[in-house]
Chain A
Amino acid sequence: MAEIRVNPTRMELKKLQARYQTARRGHKLLKDKRDELMRRFLDVVRRDRELRQHVEQELTQAYAAFAIAGAVGTPEELHAALMLPRKATEVTVTYRNQMSVTVPDLFIAPHSGKPEDSFNYGLAATSGELDVALTRLGDIRDEMLHMAALEKEAQLLAEEIERTRRRVNALEHIMMPRYLSAIRSIKMKLDENERGNITRLMKVKDMMVAAQIKEKHSFFPDEEEESV
């Protein structure tokens, strides 16, 4: 692991300690964010899965009904009957902030009307099966739109969760250990300096005491002989 290279001073130590505290707070916040994002994501995915199963089932049945309708007349007749819808279905979009992820909500514009309003073909030239197929499709129009919105939300949330997870891991396994090791090495260096200072002082004191004793003895040389 690459070390942070800093001068072993008290000022740097204070700075690093402050950065470590910030990283720790950020890590906690991001972890909370990830957990909440995950909760919402799983909720969205569950709803989407149920909706998708329903929509896929309905679509299969609609296709089957449509195939029967196609078998009654010629494909050209069918195409001619369907090629001119009365109006395009339009969608309005509102955006929602979901834990800092901008998520779109999709709604059918009110003026688009009900699906059956835009069936624009003559009843004489088409079979009843076509009505059945299109009514089935019309019934799931809103659900399809809802499913599309949920899937988009799931994709966007998944991206954000992935990003947040990386940030949490980077803080937890790289940044915070680096700060801690830098703080430890500075502390050790400062302690070492402190010990060096104390040793030096003790040595100086010893030298001074020795010098004083020597000086004292030079004034009273007899005392030394007596004591010996």
Chain B
Amino acid sequence: MYCEKGSGAVMYKIGMIGDRESTLCFLPLGYTVMEADAKNAATVLKNAVKSEDYAVIFITEELALSLGEELAKYKDLPLPAITVIPGKAGGTGYGMASLHAAVERAVGADILK
């Protein structure tokens, strides 16, 4: 969490974690890009969450798949919102699956199917 000088308001950044090809195009949008592979994704994510600088962290589906349970740890925190988006390789349906998982958790059955 950091404050914009003089404004007093708390400002957060938008993070993007993924492989180089998928994240490069988010640089011009002003996202903070963190390159990661399946091995160090958990550490990168952990550091990003710990810094409390980010309101949103987008993560590619490929990396989210490799993280598995690690992502679930941050589900119940109010911030940051960790959102899975498709990477350059295309969508695997993981993002939608996590939405279905939330429905299953709340309702007891996946009624969106």
Instruction: List A residues at the B interface (Cβ < 8 Å).
Output: 38, 41, 45, 48-49, 52, 55-56, 59-60, 62-63, 66-67, 70, 78-79, 82-83, 85-93, 95, 102-104, 106, 109, 111-112, 115, 118-121, 133-134, 137-138, 141, 144-145, 147-149, 151-152, 154-159, 161-162, 165
Contact = CB atoms under 8 A, between A and B. Distances in A.
A-B pairs with lowest CB-CB distance, top 8:
A89-B30, A152-B81, A158-B106, A161-B106, A148-B83, A148-B81, A91-B55, A90-B11
B56 A145 contact: yes
Given A104-B55, A159-B76, A49 B96 contact: yes
Interface string B92-113: 0001101100110111100010
Given A104-B55, A147-B83, A156-B76, A60 B12 contact: no
Contacts of A62: 25
A112 B58 CA distance: 18
A89 B12 CA distance: 9
Contact of B29 (A45, A89, A103): A89
21 contacts: A38-B107, A45-B102, A59-B86, A63-B25, A63-B86, A63-B88, A63-B90, A82-B28, A85-B27, A89-B30, A90-B13, A91-B12, A92-B12, A102-B78, A104-B78, A106-B56, A115-B30, A133-B25, A134-B29, A148-B81, A158-B102
Contacts of A63: 22, 25, 86, 88, 90
Contacts of A78: 24
A222 to B, nearest CB: 89
Contact of B85 (A56, A66, A111, A165): A56
Given A52-B99, A67-B88, A45 B112 contact: yes
Contact of A137 (B25, B105, B106, B108): B25
Interface residues on B, range: 35 or more
Which of A83, A90, A149 has the most C-beta atoms of chain B within 10 angstroms of its own C-beta?
A: A90
Nearest to A103: B78
Given A56-B95, A82-B27, 7 more contacts: A91-B11, A92-B10, A95-B78, A104-B81, A149-B56, A155-B75, A156-B76
Contacts, number: 151
Nearest to A136: B25
Interface of B: 4, 9-14, 21-22, 24-32, 55-56, 58, 75-76, 78-79, 81, 83, 85-86, 88, 90-91, 95-96, 98-99, 102-103, 105-108, 112
Tell me if B's interface is mostly helix, strand, loop or mixed.
mixed
B80 to A, nearest CB: 8
A87 to B, nearest CB: 6
Contacts of B112: 45, 49
Nearest to A145: B56
Contacts of B31: 88-89
Contacts of A148: 56, 58, 81, 83
B58 A144 contact: yes
Contacts of B102: 45, 151, 154-155, 158
Nearest to B103: A45
